[in-house]
């Protein structure tokens, strides 16, 4: 291990042999860090925190601090982080609450830019990009390959699906389904598919066309949500992408973000 002499590492912390700990870092007693991970400087990792391999933590990141929750009484809840993540300056990831499941988790190959906040009991997938100062309240779930714009705030218990994109300076109060694009500042709305992102991830034109047709039925047909879902199940039977959207919608507890009109979509 390469541990700078100004760093403080608890004697009971478990670090792989090649972990790098830069100047003025602080690592707590119950921390585990996998091989190839680098803490550049002034990084704090505390609590019952497990960090995987080849992660890069930039100055003043704070990982595993207690949840910002008045009901927390010091229970040994966790933060679990996968492999190959980049956490830039001042990123905060708080450990979970006992009543929220006990684990705040972050998958692999994610890029969290400066000042991103991940609150207690959040569950983030892999291949995410969260731009500067994006903030997650507690109990939020974000799927794989999603993008969250800078200065965006997401309400507790909201879910953002796979391949969704949320624009910058948004307030997200309801779920954003997979493959969708949300924007619009306070009380953001859906603006159709994340078509550019889907093409970049190798979705074929035919696959995107099916999703666009399903979007129109689900969000622009004028049907109530339950009826639109029923019709979509009939029309798109056997379409795995559409089935993923329908399952997501049926599992919503906060409701799904509403769509703007086609004219408004063109303005975005």
Q: What is the largest CA-CA distance in the chain?
A: 65
Catalytic residue among 120, 127, 139, 189: 120
Main-chain dihedrals φ then ψ at residue 257, nearest 5 degrees: -55, 140
Q: Give the DSSP per-residue string, the chain.
A: -EE-TT-EE-TT-EE-TT-EE-TT-EE-TT-EE-TT-EE-SS-EE-SEEEE-SS-EE-TT-EEEEPPS-TT------EEEE-SS-EE-TT-EEE---TTTTSEEEE-SS-EE-TT-EE-TT-EE-SS-EE-TT-EE-TT-EE-TT-EE-TT-EE-TT-EE-TT-EE-TT-EE-SBB-TTEEEE-STT-EEEEE-HHHHHHTT--HHHHHHHHHHHHHHHHS---HHHHHHHHHHHTTT-HHHHHHHHHHHT-SS-BPPBPPHHHHHH-
Known active-site residue 121: yes
Known active-site residue 82: no
* Rg of the chain over all Cα atoms, to the nearest angstrom: 20
Catalytic residue among 46, 84, 121, 162: 121
Catalytic residue among 52, 65, 82, 138: 138
Q: How far apart are CA 265 and CA 73, in angstroms?
A: 47
Residue with tokens 């969250």: 148
Known active-site residue 139: no
Q: How far apart are CA 180 and CA 151, in angstroms?
A: 19
Q: And the tokens for 204?
A: 């074929």
Residues known to be catalytic: 120-121, 138
């Amino acid at each position: 291990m390469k541990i700078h002499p100004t760093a403080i590492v608890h004697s009971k912390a478990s670090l792989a042999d090649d972990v790098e700990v830069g100047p003025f870092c602080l690592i707590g007693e119950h921390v585990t860090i996998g091989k190839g991970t680098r803490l550049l400087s002034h990084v704090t990792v505390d609590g019952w925190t497990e960090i995987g391999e080849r992660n890069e933590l930039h100055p003043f990141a704070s990982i595993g601090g207690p949840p910002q929750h008045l009901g927390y009484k010091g229970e040994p809840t966790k933060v679990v982080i996968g492999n190959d993540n980049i956490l830039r300056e001042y990123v905060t990831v708080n450990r979970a609450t006992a009543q929220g499941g006990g684990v705040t988790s972050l998958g692999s190959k994610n890029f969290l830019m400066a000042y991103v906040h991940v609150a207690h009991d959040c569950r983030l997938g892999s291949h995410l990009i969260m731009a500067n100062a994006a903030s997650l309240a507690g109990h939020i779930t974000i799927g794989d390959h999603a993008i969250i714009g800078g200065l965006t705030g997401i309400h507790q218990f909201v879910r953002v699906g796979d391949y969704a994109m949320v624009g910058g300076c948004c307030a997200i109060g309801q779920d954003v389904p997979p493959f969708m694009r949300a924007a619009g500042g306070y009380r953001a709305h859906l603006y159709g598919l994340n078509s550019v992102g889907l093409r970049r991830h190798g979705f074929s034109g035919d696959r995107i066309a099916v999703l666009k047709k399903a979007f129109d039925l689900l969000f622009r047909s004028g049907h109530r949500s339950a009826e639109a879902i029923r019709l979509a199940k009939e029309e798109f039977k056997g379409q795995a992408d559409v089935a993923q959207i329908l399952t997501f919608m049926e599992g919503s507890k906060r409701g799904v973000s509403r769509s703007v009109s086609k004219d408004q979509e063109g303005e975005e």
